[in-house]
Amino acid sequence: MAEEKKQVPLRLSKKLYDSINAWAEDDFRSVNGQIEYLLSECVKQRKKNGKYVSDHIDEEPELHIK
pLDDT digits (tens, 9 = 90+) for 8-61: 999 999 999 999 999 999 989 999 999 999 898 888 887 777 765 556 555 666
For residue 29, being part of any structural domain is answered with yes
**pLDDT value at position 44?**
84
**pLDDT value at position 15?**
92
22-27-30-36 Cα dihedral, nearest 10 degrees = -100
| Residues in contact with 21: Cβ distance below 8 Å, sequence separation at least 6, in sequence order | 31, 34
For residue 20, being part of any structural domain is answered with yes
**pLDDT value at position 48?**
77
Number of domains in the chain: 1
**pLDDT value at position 18?**
94
Nearest partner of 66 among 18, 27, 11, 31, judged by Cα: 18
For residue 4, being part of any structural domain is answered with no
**pLDDT value at position 13?**
93
For residue 1, being part of any structural domain is answered with no
For residue 42, being part of any structural domain is answered with yes
